[in-house]
Amino acid sequence: MVSIRKIGGLGRSYRHFLRYRQILGIIFKYGFGNIIDALNLDEYIEIGLKLISRNKGERLEKLSGAMRIRMIFEELGPTFIKFGQILSSRPDLIPVNLLTELARLQDHVPPFSFDEVAAIISAEFGRPHGEVFEFIDHTPIASASIGQVHRAGITGVGEVAVKVQRPGIRKIIEVDLEIMHHLATLAEDHVEEIAYHRPVRIVEEFAKSLGRELDYSVEASNLERMARQFSNDKTVHIPGVFRAESSQRVLTMEFIRGVKISERAALVRQGLDIGQITRNGAQFVMKQVFDFGFFHADPHPGNLFVLPKNVICPVDFGMAGFIPRHTRESFVDLIYAIHKKDMRLGARFLLELADYDVEPDLAALEKDLTDFVVLNLDRPLKEIRIGQLVQDILEISSHHKMRIPPDLFLMMKAFATVEGVAKKLDPDFDMIKAAAPHVRQAKLSRLSPKRISEDMLGITREALRFARIFPSDFLEILRLAKLGNIRLNIQIQGFERMLATHDQISNRISFAIIIAALIMGSAQLINSNVPPILFGVSVIGIAGFIAAALMGVWLLVAIIKKGRL
């Protein structure tokens, strides 16, 4: 995981002052100056933010908020682009309307020099790149925000593809994450509309995801696991990994010479069967999800190649997902319930799949699912689009304040992506029909003798474990009760925020009472002509009125600054 150091005051903020000012300036430029004001940044950084020229703000009111957020990420560079790309697969963390927009984020990062490539290889393997590889091309064949790929050769092996991590990228990411974490903390403390989406948790989750992407050994493990899954499948080829020439910052893989699946004309020129390619690609995704639960989480057209004999070859396994068996089965049950138009059962399975803080209204959820079925499924199968189904299910979940787990969403998104590729290759291809046998097999597999025996064995194992530990646990509870040491630790979500708000309200009321008392007391002093007297008026009374006026202005400014009267 990438480390996040918290900003505690001016010292650490000033260390990254230029980057901080750039980030805030771009946020303001795209019309989010109100958020900067609401964050009360002047309490944390006493100098510097005033240098942001508000006259340079480029007001873009005609664009949606989601579009402007995407443009902010693109302008802020690699860390934020990667942040947006990861967020685009996290409906549990961000609003649904932002998912589609962030999915459009693209890397526009120039390649780094070959001297830097050679230095990284030398540092990782302790010897010059010429001793690690027989040759390596100086010009990369692909470049992205995290790294770039070069064609190379290994003695006795032949051509390989070498992915090298961008120099200094970890330090750049750590600086940006520190600033992002600070801004997220302020947003959670001061902006209720943003606090609902738990921005601190979003940044922390991002740090974990990015930490995995920065470790190329994780991608190597993903490749090897996928290769084992499809070792007996002649329609799929997974690139091999060369561990001896790989490390955390260098990944060496089999060099793939194929045609991108999106290049239909090139596939036809090669004499490949478009229909068979489409079926193989769809089966590749179905088997990952329904048979193994481990899947390529980013199967966009640029990551799918076609080899001779219509073989599918996926590349770039930096993002992979895993769906445990019970989640896969609940997903299959949800599909089956919707297909049978049993909305009560469908609502129950959707609740099993989703996360939520407060259980949704089951009757309202059933009604929304009924509307979903009428709108989407009462039509010929060929007209049904999985991408639209996914979007509608997400909107239903969001409406009922349910969060779809990230890996489940990645799986649904993978289905929709492959369907889009398949429709471009073969407009008559029916993804629903292709999935039907896998859904039926998934339901039937639960009734197999092997599965039943496994389930019974698991239940027996858990029962024996419970029987073994329950007596000692129960005796410990009795012992603690006898000593009077049992304590209940109850945490109420949002309670601290409520206490802080009540504390603020009570302070303002107390302040207002003091002001009222000063006014009344001063009026009494003036009315009684309490000395000293100046121009016929009590000086102490006048001083009291002035003090009350200053305190009143102070209170009013504090209220206006918070944006509430």
- Give me the active site residues, please: 298
Angstrom distances, CA of residue 136 to CA of 167, 240, 324, 470:
18, 18, 41, 62
Q: Give the integer Cα–Cα distance in Å for 554 and 565.
A: 13
Alpha helices, H only, 287-405 = 325-339, 343-353, 362-376, 386-399
Q: Give the integer Cα–Cα distance in Å for 417 and 58.
A: 35
**Rounded CA Rg of the chain:** 31
- Describe the crossing of helices 495-527 and 539-561 by its angle, rounded to 10 degrees: 160
Angstrom distances, CA of residue 427 to CA of 263, 269, 307, 424, 495:
15, 19, 22, 6, 54
Residues 6+ apart with CB under 8 A from 6: 12, 178, 181, 182, 185
Q: Give the integer Cα–Cα distance in Å for 309 and 534.
A: 105
In degrees and rounded to multiples of 5, residue 236 shows phi and psi of: -130, 140
Give me 287's structure tokens.
Answer: 């088997």
Angstrom distances, CA of residue 47 to CA of 25, 154, 400:
14, 55, 44
**SS3 (DSSP) at 243:** helix
Say how many CA atoms lie within 13 Å of 471 toward its Cβ.
Answer: 3
Q: Give the integer Cα–Cα distance in Å for 120 and 140.
A: 15
Q: Give the integer Cα–Cα distance in Å for 285 and 290.
A: 9
Q: Mark 196-224 as b/e (b = at least 16 C-beta within 10 Å).
A: eebbbebbebbbebbbbbbbbbbbbebbe
Q: Give the integer Cα–Cα distance in Å for 236 and 223.
A: 13
- Describe the crossing of helices 343-353 and 325-339 by its angle, rounded to 10 degrees: 160
